[in-house]
Structure 1
Amino acid sequence: MSDLPLATDLAAIFLEDVPLIDLRAPIEFKEGAFPTATSLPLMTDEERAQVGTCYKQQGQAAAIELGHQLVGGAVRAARMEGWLAQIAAEPDALLYCFRGGLRSQTVQQWLAEAGVTRPRVAGGYKELRRFLIDTQDKASAQCHWSVLTGMTGSGKTHMLADIAQAVDLEGHAHHRGSSFGQLPGGQPSNINFENTLAIELLKRRHRGEQAFVVEDESRLIGRCCLPLSLYETMGQAPLVVVEVPQHDRAEQIRADYVHDLWLRYQAIFGSEAGWPLFASYLTDALARLKRRLGDQAHRELDALMQTALKEQALNGSTELHLAWIRLLLTRYYDPMYLYQLGNKRERIVFQGDKQACLDYFAEQHAAQQAG
C-alpha cells in the first residue's frame, strides 16, 4: 500500500474543485464534508460501529479482520462497482477517509487490484478540515474587513450583490439572519457552512483579493455559528451605515419575508401543501420573539398577522401584512438597532442612503485595485 500515490497539495484540491470520494460512514459525512465530495462509504454506520466496538474490546487486528468479513464477497463487489462508476464519471477523483488511514488505504488497494490507481488524500478529512480552519483564521486576521449595517429591512443582503468585495454570510448559511430568517430547505451543517465560506475566501485571496465586506451579523445565523476569528474581526471592523426610511424598510420586509418567501414555499411544496407551512413559518417566527416583546405586544402583533394571512389566503393580497411589520419595527427592531449602534458609533466610517453606500464601496474597491 505504501507505493500507492498520495495527494498532498490541499490548497489545489479546493482551488481546482477536485472531485472527492468520501469513504467515511454516512453519519460522518452528514456531520460535515466538502462541496465536491460524494459519499461512497466503505462501511455503513452499523458496520463501522461493530468494527469500532471490536477494536476497543479485542484490538486492531481483530477489528481489521471483522471489517473484511463485513465488507467481503457480494458486499465488497457492490461497493467496488460504486467506486469504479464514480471514478469513470470523475476520473480525477481523490479518495479520503477520516485520517487517510486504513479505510482509504484499503479501498485504494482494492481499486489498484482492479486496474484503477487513484491517490488518497494525505491525512484525510482531518487534514482537509484543518487546512480550511487555518485558511479562515488567516483571512480573518490578514485581510481588511468592512461591515455593512443598517436597520432591519434596509435591504443590506440585496446590496451585497452590487458590492465587488462582498461575502454573503447569509447565503452560505441559507438563512436570513433574524427570527424570520428561516428558509425552506433547511441549513447546512455548521461544518459545511464553515467549509464553503473558507473555500470562497481561499479562492478569492488566490486571485489577489484582500478586502471584504460583510453584512452585520450576530454570532449565530440561524443555527450556523460564525467562526470565532471572523466574528471577533467583524466586531472591530469599520462600519458603513445604510439609512433607509421605515416606510421603505417595511415594504422591503413584505417583499422578502411575505411575497418572495411564499413563492418559494409554493415552488417547493405546491400551493395546497405550501400554504400551512408558510403560515406556520410566519406565526412561529413571531412567537420566538414573545419573551422579548411581552405577552400583550405579542398578542397584538399576532392578531394583525393572522388577519393578514387570512386576507392573503382569500385573495392573494399581502397589503395587510404591513400593519404588523411596521408595528414590529417600531416596537422592537428599530429601538434594538439604535441601542446597539450607539455602542459602536466610533467605528462608523461612512453613512448614507443605499446609492451613497454603494458608491463608497465602489471607490474603496477602486482604490484597493489601484494600490
Structure 2
Amino acid sequence: MKNLLVSLDRLADFDEIIDVRTPLEFADDHIPGAINAPVLSNEERVLVGTMYKQVSPFEASRVGAALVARNIAQHLDTTFAGRPRNWRPLIYCWRGGTRSGSVTTVFSMIGWQARQLEGGYKTYRRATLDTLDHLPTTFRYIALTGPTGSGKTRLLHALREAGAQTLDLEQLAAHRGSLLGALPGEPQPSQKWFDTLLVGALRSFDPARPVFVEAESRRIGAISLPLALVESFHRGACVEVEASREDRATFLLHDYAHLFQRPESFKEQLSRLIGLHSRERVSGWHALIDAGREAELARELIDLHYDPAYARSSRQNFSELSRATHMLFRPNGADVVEQARALLARLDSARSAERPPVSPPITPA
C-alpha cells in the first residue's frame, strides 16, 4: 500500500479528491473541492466505535468492514458509475487509515489510478494551521477603523468593487462582529472551515498590493482569528471612517431591521449588556423597543454603548491609529463606489509622496 500513498503537495495531480469520512466530519471541514463519499454514515461510525470499546476490537472491525464494503459498492453503482478508465482520484479519511485505504485498494483493483493521501485530513489540517502562522504576515494591510454604524463593511464592499484587494472577515465568519452581529438564519461556520476559507482568501491576494480589512478584535462571534493575522493588521496603516450621527443611526436602523422584527429576541440580546450597563439603562432600551422608538434606540446605542466601546478598543489595538487617513463617509448614499475610488486615489497619492524621488542616471561625460 505504501506505493499508493501521496503527500499533500500533490493535490493538483488528481482529477478528483474524495473525502470518505462521515457527513458530519466533512461538514466540519474538508479539503476545498473535495466531494463526500462516506464509507460509514454518522450513525454507523458511532456504532463501530461503541462496539470497539464495549464488545471487542475484532467484532468492531468485522462489522465495520461489512459496512464499508456495502457502502463502497453503493458508491460504485451511483456516485462513481460514470468515471472513465483513466480517472485519477485522491482519497482521504481522518488520518490516512483503514477507511481511505479500503477505497484506494478497491479503486486500484478496478483499474483506476487511485491514491491515498498520506496522513489524511490530519495532515491537511496541520498544514492549514502552519499556513495561518506565516501567510498573513506576507501582506500589507490597511484597516478600516471607525465606530459602529459608520459603514465600514459597506465601504469594504465598495473598495472591492472599485478594484481593491479586500479581506471580508465578517463574510467568512457569517457574523457582523458585535453583540448584535448574528446573521438571521445563517449559522457561523466551524472554526476549522473558517480557517480553510481564510487560507483560500489569503492565497488569492497579490502581496505587492495592499489588502483592505475591516478593524476586528480577535473574535468574530464564535470564530477566533489567527494571531498572526490580527497582529499584522493591528499594526498596519489605518483609514478612520467617519460618518454623521444621523447617517450612522439611519445605517443601524437598516442593519438592525431583522432585530426589530423579533423584539423579544432583540431584548434578550441587549440583556447580555447588563454588567457593561446598568439594569435600568438596559430596561430603558427594552422600553424603546416595545414602544417602536427605533431611531431613538439606535441613537442611544451609538452614544452610550458603541462609541465608548470603540474609543477603548481602538486605542488599545491599532498602533497606527494616530496617523490614520480620515474619511468622511456617506454610507447610505448611492455613490459609495465613487467614494471608495476617491479614497484609493488619496491613498495612492499619499504613498507616492512618501517615496523618495528617483535620481536620473548619471551620464558619463
TM-score normalised by the chain length of structure 1: 0.78
Change (3 A) 1:119 1:22: same
| Structure 2 equivalent of residue 215 of structure 1 | 214
| Structure 1 equivalent of residue 288 of structure 2 | 304
Q: Which amino acid aligns with 1:175?
A: H
| Structure 2 equivalent of residue 198 of structure 1 | 199
Whole-Å separation in 1 of the counterparts to 2:30 and 2:224: 17
2:11 touches 2:90 (CA, 8 Å); kept in 1? no
1:5 touches 1:118 (CA, 8 Å); kept in 2? no
User: Mean alpha-carbon deviation: is it higher for 190-199 or for 290-299?
Assistant: 290-299
| Structure 2 equivalent of residue 32 of structure 1 | 29
| Structure 2 equivalent of residue 125 of structure 1 | 121
Change (3 A) 1:68 1:342: closer
SS class of match (1:188): coil
User: Mean alpha-carbon deviation: is it higher for 76-85 or for 38-47?
Assistant: 76-85
% identity of equivalent residues: 32
Q: How does 1:18-97 map to 2 (within 5 A)?
A: 19-52=16-49, 64-72=61-69, 74-85=70-81, 94-97=90-93
Whole-Å separation in 2 of the counterparts to 1:129 and 1:212: 25
| Structure 1 equivalent of residue 171 of structure 2 | 171
| Structure 2 equivalent of residue 316 of structure 1 | none
| Structure 1 equivalent of residue 269 of structure 2 | 285
Whole-Å separation in 1 of the counterparts to 2:128 and 2:104: 25
Instruction: From 325, 328, 331, give the equivalent of 2:301.
Output: 328
Q: Which amino acid aligns with 2:44?
A: E
Whole-Å separation in 2 of the counterparts to 1:285 and 1:295: 13
Unaligned runs of 5+ in 1: 263-274, 309-319
- Deviation of 1:246 after TM superposition, in Å, equals 1.1
Whole-Å separation in 2 of the counterparts to 1:122 and 1:152: 47
| Structure 1 equivalent of residue 334 of structure 2 | none
1:135 touches 1:198 (CA, 8 Å); kept in 2? yes
Whole-Å separation in 1 of the counterparts to 2:66 and 2:11: 37
2:17 touches 2:34 (CA, 8 Å); kept in 1? yes
1:10 touches 1:128 (CA, 8 Å); kept in 2? no
2:349 corresponds to 1:353: no
- Deviation of 1:192 after TM superposition, in Å, equals 0.6
2:72 touches 2:103 (CA, 8 Å); kept in 1? no
- Deviation of 1:324 after TM superposition, in Å, equals 0.6
- Deviation of 1:122 after TM superposition, in Å, equals 3.1
Change (3 A) 1:306 1:10: farther
2:135 corresponds to 1:160: no
| Structure 1 equivalent of residue 9 of structure 2 | 9
User: Mean alpha-carbon deviation: is it higher for 333-342 or for 141-150?
Assistant: 333-342
SS class of match (1:70): helix
After superposition, the CA RMSD in angstroms is 3.3
- Deviation of 1:342 after TM superposition, in Å, equals 3.9
Larger Rg: 2
Q: Which amino acid aligns with 1:174?
A: A
Q: Which amino acid aligns with 1:172?
A: L
1:149 touches 1:242 (CA, 8 Å); kept in 2? yes
| Structure 2 equivalent of residue 141 of structure 1 | 137
- Deviation of 1:257 after TM superposition, in Å, equals 1.9
User: Mean alpha-carbon deviation: is it higher for 24-33 or for 44-53?
Assistant: 44-53
| Structure 2 equivalent of residue 112 of structure 1 | 108
- Deviation of 1:333 after TM superposition, in Å, equals 0.8
- Deviation of 1:160 after TM superposition, in Å, equals 0.8
Q: Which amino acid aligns with 2:269?
A: A
1:21 touches 1:95 (CA, 8 Å); kept in 2? yes
SS class of match (1:20): strand
- Deviation of 1:145 after TM superposition, in Å, equals 1.9
SS class of match (1:177): coil
- Deviation of 1:325 after TM superposition, in Å, equals 0.6
How many aligned positions are there? Answer: 335
| Structure 1 equivalent of residue 246 of structure 2 | 247
Q: Which amino acid aligns with 1:230?
A: L
- Deviation of 1:106 after TM superposition, in Å, equals 0.9
Q: Which amino acid aligns with 1:9?
A: D
Whole-Å separation in 2 of the counterparts to 1:82 and 1:280: 48
Q: Which amino acid aligns with 1:155?
A: G
- Deviation of 1:25 after TM superposition, in Å, equals 2.3
User: Mean alpha-carbon deviation: is it higher for 50-59 or for 196-205?
Assistant: 50-59
Unaligned runs of 5+ in 2: 330-337, 356-365
Q: Which amino acid aligns with 2:242?
A: E
| Structure 2 equivalent of residue 266 of structure 1 | none
1:145 touches 1:233 (CA, 8 Å); kept in 2? yes
Whole-Å separation in 2 of the counterparts to 1:128 and 1:44: 22
- Deviation of 1:362 after TM superposition, in Å, equals 4.7
- Deviation of 1:176 after TM superposition, in Å, equals 0.8
| Structure 2 equivalent of residue 271 of structure 1 | none
Whole-Å separation in 2 of the counterparts to 1:345 and 1:109: 54
Whole-Å separation in 2 of the counterparts to 1:357 and 1:122: 47
- Deviation of 1:247 after TM superposition, in Å, equals 0.8
- Deviation of 1:136 after TM superposition, in Å, equals 2.2
